[in-house]
Amino acid sequence: MLNRTLDTSRLILCPIALEDAGALHREMTWEVVRWLSPVPWPQPLAAMRGFCARAAEDMRRGAAAHHVVLADGRTAGLISLMPADGAMELGYWLGPSFWGRGLMSEAAETYVDAFFAETQAVHMTSGVFADNRRSLRIQERLGFVVVGEGLKFSKAHGRYLPHVTTMLGRARRRQPALAA
């Protein structure tokens, strides 16, 4: 599943490798980590190396997809699809110096379309902490709809935070007029 390099007009999405750990770690500042539920703060470089090794192995087995986002020839962030609650869950982040340029919208659109083109999946999920309006807007533009609200544990904050769960069906993605 998505075990190849994907290109957009401005980005290259490369399958993750252990060698990506240092560059990803440099981009993973507090401004990023505060929005990610499974990532502790501070995150040691060794933890990022461990994540990259596990992510590359998951890709090799076809269990998940993890791609480094390259913009202007530099590591900008990460986009992934991982199994969660019976579906594949879309997750993503960019380093702050890459925010505000529409890069993640571009990466996510390519990723979602490639996923539906290469699999028989009928839907995917995603979600955001409730205050992360920019990330939720990316999902809405792709056609994701809110299917739940609740609390999710944030390792970085050390507590539960309000969270919004979203879902995108294959049919809805094919019909842009239905998108938010």
Which contiguous run of DSSP H or E holds residue 81?
strand 74-84
Alpha helices in the chain (DSSP H): 21-27, 30-33, 45-61, 103-118, 133-142, 170-174
Name the token pair of 140. 């809405």
**Predicted local confidence at residue 180, as pLDDT:** 46
* Topology given in CATH for the domain delimited by 6-178: Aminopeptidase (3.40.630)
**Predicted local confidence at residue 172, as pLDDT:** 84
What is the spatial distance between Cα 70 and Cα 13, in angstroms, rounded to a whole number? 6
DSSP 82-132: EEETTEEEEEEEE-GGGTTSSHHHHHHHHHHHHHHHHS--SEEEEEEETT-
**Predicted local confidence at residue 175, as pLDDT:** 63
Nearby residues of 19 by Cβ (< 8 Å), 6 or more positions away = 52
For the purposes of burial, counting CB atoms within 10 Å of the CB of 132, is it exposed (0-12), middle (13-18) or buried (19 or more)?
middle
Give, for all 180 residues of the chain, the pLDDT tens digit. 899 999 999 999 999 999 999 999 999 999 999 999 999 999 999 999 999 999 999 999 999 999 999 999 999 999 999 999 999 999 999 999 999 999 999 999 999 999 999 999 999 999 999 999 999 999 999 999 999 999 999 999 999 999 999 999 998 886 654 544
DSSP state of 177: G
Work out whether strand 159-169 and strand 123-129 pair parallel, antiparallel, or are unpaired: antiparallel
Which contiguous run of DSSP H or E holds residue 10?
none
Nearby residues of 55 by Cβ (< 8 Å), 6 or more positions away = 16, 64, 66, 80
How is the chain split into domains, by residue range? 6-178
Which contiguous run of DSSP H or E holds residue 64?
none
